[in-house]
Amino acid sequence: MSGTESRTAAVAEIKAVIEDWAEAIRRKDASRVLAHGTEDSVIFSLAPPLKASDSDPDGLEQWFSTWKGPLGFTFQDLDISASGNVAFVTALAHLSGEKHDGQKPALWYRLTLGLKRTDRGWKIAHQHESVPFYMDGSLKAAVDLDPKSEVDWQAPSHPPMAGVVAYLNVQDANATAEFYRRAFGAKEEDRKYAEDGKRLIHCHLTINGGALMLNDPFPEFGYPWKPPEGFVLHLIVDDADFWWKRAVEAGAQVTMPLEIAFWGDYYGQLRDPFGITWGIVAPVKKND
């Protein structure tokens, strides 16, 4: 058999291995998945930790148990390169399914597999999964991309935003953004949806000249919702009464009355329907 014929045969064998490995993932068959890996297989997956081993059947079973029914798992741009006893596979992978809590995650990610030929056939020795992250300073994973997504490299860069920008993980980012529009006159600058078309992975608002970022929880990627506590968002405005009245009429709850504080400014606190505490601050207007 010539070298070309040998490589062609190896590629066919590897493709069959990858297809069976993927089918095992779809069926949530942990033992069948693990049978395709070497004993010392290394995994750099989307989920923590930074480095794991494929020899953790309990961990794999636990992850499978979070899904209801079979998984969707497909490839695009699958490429296999083999030489001797080593092979590399690259692809764009799409994972989807339904969680027991009703959420239906679906995302594309980049997949690289390193395989080696053993006396038991081709086995996966290394698995690497990754997604890009947005370069706008948010460091948020770009889980809304698909193979058709394009980047305009000629688009001008956004100027850096001044000061400290709050990034809130809220239970319903759509509803929160709408409330902030009514209560605080928020202007929406940008929003990006996840592939479920419902949750927001990024929402950029401008309130009183400052930036505020929002996103929905993504527990499947390590970003669950937690009740907000230990911080206050301060709005420094020129007319405390106007801002206060608008927010209260929109549905904000008074937790500290608006009055002259010990340092000489008007100050009061409100809690919005999503549990975020806001401070309204304005200088006391002196009579002429």
Summarize pLDDT for 124-143 with one digit per residue, the tens: 999 999 998 877 666 778 88
CA nearest neighbour of 280 among 261, 262, 229, 182? 261
Closest C-alpha to 55, from 124, 146, 143, 137: 124
What percent of the chain has pLDDT above 70? 92
Nearest to 275 by CA among 216, 210, 231: 231
Cis peptide before 49 (omega within 30 of 0): yes
Whether the bond into 57 is cis, omega within 30 of 0? no
| Other beta carbons less than 10 A from residue 20's beta carbon | 13
pTM: 0.57
Q: 123 φ, ψ to 5°?
A: -130, 150
pLDDT at residue 288, as a whole number: 44
- What would the two tokens of residue 198 be? 């419902």
Averaged pLDDT, 163-182: 93
User: Which range is least confidently modeled, 13-22, 80-89, 132-141, 203-212?
Assistant: 132-141
Residue 210 to residue 37: CA distance in whole angstroms = 51
Band of the pLDDT at 287, cuts 50, 70, 90? Answer: low
User: Strands, DSSP E only, in 164-232?
Assistant: 166-169, 187-193, 200-207, 210-215
Q: Please indicate whether residue 141 or residue 200 has the higher confidence score (pLDDT).
A: 200
Report pLDDT digits (tens) over 89-126: 999 999 999 988 777 888 899 999 999 999 999 999 99
Query: If residue 183 lies in a helix (H) or strand (E), which one and from where to where?
Result: helix 173-184
pLDDT number for residue 151: 66
Query: Stretch 257-279: mean pLDDT, rounded?
Result: 95
